[in-house]
């Protein structure tokens, strides 16, 4: 996805696994984040990774929110250089 940024320059957004795995595990989500970031580097993208759910900074509760929080923690543990 390419969109204009606040500076007026084009900004590239790469999204991974939006609809391929119906219910990826925390481990799979961590690996997907790593793979998308690595792929982006091949296209000259300086990756910044986000794990998204319907909660903002812990405002929501639920299985999906917990899964994203845990996946982000796992990714930080497995891939310490991954910019999350």
**pTM: predicted TM-score of the whole model, two decimal places:** 0.80
pLDDT tens digits along 22-37: 889 999 999 999 999 9
pLDDT tens digits along 39-61: 989 888 889 999 988 887 778 88
Q: Where are the domains of the chain?
A: 17-78
Long-range contacts from 32-40, C-beta under 8 angstroms, 24+ separation: 33/71, 33/75, 33/79, 33/82, 33/84, 34/75, 34/78, 34/79, 34/82, 37/82, 37/83, 39/14, 40/12, 40/14
Task: Fold for 17-78, please state it.
Answer: Rossmann fold (3.40.50)
């Amino acid at each position: 996805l390419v969109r204009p940024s606040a500076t007026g320059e084009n900004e590239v957004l790469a999204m991974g696994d939006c609809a391929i795995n119906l219910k990826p595990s925390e481990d799979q989500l961590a690996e997907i984040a790593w793979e998308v970031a690595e792929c982006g580097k091949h296209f000259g993208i300086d990756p910044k990774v986000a794990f998204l759910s319907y909660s903002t900074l812990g405002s929501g509760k639920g299985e999906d929110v917990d899964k994203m929080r845990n996946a982000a923690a796992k990714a930080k543990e497995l891939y310490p250089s991954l910019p999350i």
